[in-house]
Amino acid sequence: MGNALPNAGPPAFYTVREAARILRVDSSTLYRAIREDAFPAVQVRTRYVVPAAVLDKLIAEAEEFGGRVDPARMAAERRTAREVERVRGGAPW
């Protein structure tokens, strides 16, 4: 967010700090949720990044259903889908 390239379009990933700012929570809260597998994120070595698509989906679900959105459920569904694909011989996760 801070050092974006001109004309690059919206970011595909946010740092945990940027995502926390967007969600208006403390970054330590978001880190804890990520480590507990309760919030979807991508780990690159020792760093985590949050896909912009995750935030977009959270916002869309909150707008659509007008209630509480559970990112832990989203993360569990994603893990289940990956495991099903792995068992079926699909994606090599």
Phi, psi of 28 (to 5 degrees): -65, -35
Q: Are 26 and 20 in contact (CB under 8 A)?
A: yes
**Stated pTM of the model:** 0.72
Query: CA angle 67-70-73, nearest 5°?
Result: 140
The tens place of each residue's pLDDT in the chain, 93 residues long, gives 556 667 778 899 999 999 999 999 999 999 999 998 889 999 999 999 999 999 998 889 888 887 778 888 877 887 888 888 888 886 555
43: left (phi over 0), alpha (psi -120 to 50) or beta: beta
